[in-house]
Chain A
Amino acid sequence: MAAKLILSMDGVVLKEYALNKERMTIGRKSHNDVVIDNLAVSGEHAAIVTILNDSFLEDLDSTNGVAVNGEQIKKHFLQNNDVIEIGKYKLKYLNDQQGQATAADFEKTMVLRGPIGGTKPAAKAGEDTTSFMKTQVNVTPPPSQTAATGKFEAIGAEKPAAGQEPRGEETGKHAAAAAAPAAVTGGAPPATVQILTGPSTGKELELVKNLTTLGKPGLQVAVITRRPHGYFITHVEGAKFPVVNGEPLDEHPHQLNDHDIIELAGVKMEFYFKT
C-alpha cells in the first residue's frame, strides 16, 4: 500500500525502501533512512515527507543538488514513476495506488478529526504532520481547530459499495481520473459549422470548444456541445427554436449528423465533420 523507492545505479537495482515514515531522509551518513555511501552525496542530502498518499521531495541544501526526471529541483511533489537522481544514483518513486486498492478507497470522503475528549491516544502520524508543517514550511500551523490539536484521526465513513463492484478497467479508470478535468478533447472528431446565407456567407466556425454558442443574444441563441460521442445542438434563448433539416427542435438536445442544415436567427448553416 505504501509508496516505495527503488535505489539503483547503472541500471542495477540495489535496494528497495518503503515510504512508511512521515519523513525519510536520504544521505551519506549512516543515520539516514536511505544511506548512499558515496562522496558525491551530502551527509543529509534530501528528505521525503509523506502525508497520507502524497509524498514531497525536498533538497536539504545538498552540495550537488537533486534532480527529478532530469530537472534540478528544490522541492517536488512526487508522482508515480518519477526518477530522483542523486549523483550517479537513481531512486524510482512508485506509488501505484491503482493496482493496489479498490476504487472505493479513493473515492470515499473521510473526515479528519481529533479524538473525542482526548480518550484515544494521539495518532502518531498526525503529530508528525503538524510538526512538519511547523518546521518545514516555517508557517504557523493551519488555523483549523483540528490541526491545532495536533492530533488527527482519520475516520472512514465509507461511501456505499456502489463503487466497489469489481471492475476490469479499474486501472484505466484511475488513469482517467488523474487526467480527467482536462481530458475532454478525446472522443468526437473535429467538426465545423459553415454559414450558408446572409452577410457572413462562407464563414466557417470550427467547433474546437466544448460549448459553442450561435445566434444573436436576446433574439435567438443555440449552443452546440461537443461530447465524447458526438455534437449536440440545444436551444438556449429566444421565442423561436432552431430548425434542423426543416424540423424545429424542442427544448431537448439534438444530435447533429454530418451535413445537417441548421436555421437560426434567419441564418442557414451547415454542420459537417472535418475529415
Chain B
Amino acid sequence: MNIEQALEIVSETNPGMVRSHNEDSVGHEDSCGLVVLADGMGGYNAGEVASGIAVSVISTEIKHRLQNISPIEREGSRGEELGVVLLRENVQKANASIYHAAQSQPQYAGMGTTVVAGLFYDNRVAAAHVGDSRMYRLRGEEFVSITRDHSLLQEQIDSGMISPEDARRSQNKNLVTRAVGIEPEVEAEVHVHEVQVGDIYLLCSDGLNDMVEDEDIGGTLQMLQANLPLAASQLVQMANDNGGRDNVSVILVKVKGEFAVPRGWLAKLLSWFKK
C-alpha cells in the first residue's frame, strides 16, 4: 500500500475561548506521510509568524527532498536513516529562519515556537519534537504520550521533585526549556517507533492536554476512531468546553494499512534510475 492510502490524516486548529489570535500552525503532506504542528510564542503576531515558518519550512523541504530519494536510505557519517536526518536538519533550518527573522525585525524579537512532527515511512514513524507540543499513540486500549516535554515541569517530574499528580496543580506549566527560533541552534529530539495497523497518532498543542485529561483524550479517540474528523473536532470542543484558555490544535493520523518500502532488486533498480 502506498503511504497516501495507508494513512488517514485530519487536522483542526482553533483559537480557543480566550485568545483572539491563533498562534498555532498545523500542516500535513499526505503524499509523503508527514505531519507538523507548531505552537508559536511572541508579541503581536510574532507567534503566528514563528509557528507558520516552522510548519512551512519543515513541510516543503522534506516533501521536496523525498521526491527523488527514499527515507530509508542511509546518510551521513553516523549512518542514520534519511527520514531521521531530514526531520532533524529541517527543524534546524526552521530554527535558523525564525532566529534570523527575529534578529532582523524588531517586531519579531524573541519569537519562537514549539514543534512536533511525524514522518511515517516503512511501517514506522520518526517523531521529532522541541518544546511541549506532544505526540500520543492509541494502540488498542493503550493511550500513551510518545514524546517527553522539554519543560521545567517535566524536569521536575523526572528528578522526583514533584509527582505527576501534583504537576497538574503546578503554576509553572508554561515554561519550556527548548524552543525553535530562540537561539542560533536547536537540537530536535527524534525517536523512531514501530507502527501497527489500527494505531492512531495524535499530535497536539498544550491547549489540548492542559485542558483535557489524557484519560479523556484517549477515551474519546477510542470511541470515535471510526470517524476521524469527528474525533478531531470533538477534542477541540472538549478543550473549549473546559475553558479553552489557549489555542488548541490537533492532528490525527490513523494507520489503515501497512506501508513497507519495497526492498526487492527491482525497486532498487528503479530508484537507481530515478537518481
Contact = CB atoms under 8 A, between A and B. Distances in A.
A264 to B, nearest CB: 14
Contact of A160 (B43, B161, B178, B223): B43
Interface SS of chain B: helix, strand, loop or mixed?
loop
A213 B222 CA distance: 11
Given A116-B183, A142-B155, A157 B42 contact: yes
A181 B168 contact: yes
A162 B21 contact: yes
A173 B156 CA distance: 26
A144 B169 CA distance: 23
B119 interface: no
Contacts of B162: 54, 56, 77
A142 B234 contact: no
B175 A110 contact: yes
B213 to A, nearest CB: 5
Given A109-B174, A112-B175, A221 B226 contact: yes
B16 to A, nearest CB: 9
B176 A210 contact: no
Interface string B35-69: 00001011111110000000000000000000000
B160 interface: yes
Contact of A52 (B41, B163, B175): B175
Assign chain B's interface to a size class: 35 or more
A18 interface: no
A144 B213 CA distance: 26
A213 B223 contact: yes
Interface size class of A (residues with CB under 8 A): 35 or more
B77 interface: no
B110 A155 contact: yes
B176 A110 contact: yes
Given A106-B171, A142-B158, A144-B177, A182 B213 contact: yes
A270 interface: no
Contact of A54 (B158, B170, B227, B243): B170
B182 interface: yes
Interface in A235-275: 235-237
Given A54-B162, A160-B21, A236-B226, 10 more contacts: A77-B166, A109-B41, A109-B174, A110-B174, A111-B176, A133-B161, A139-B159, A144-B150, A155-B182, A159-B41
Q: Which 3 A-B pairs have the closest CB atoms?
A: A53-B171, A237-B226, A142-B155
22 contacts: A56-B162, A77-B169, A95-B171, A107-B174, A109-B206, A112-B175, A113-B183, A142-B155, A142-B158, A147-B177, A156-B110, A157-B111, A157-B112, A159-B23, A160-B47, A181-B213, A181-B216, A211-B223, A211-B234, A223-B230, A227-B237, A237-B226
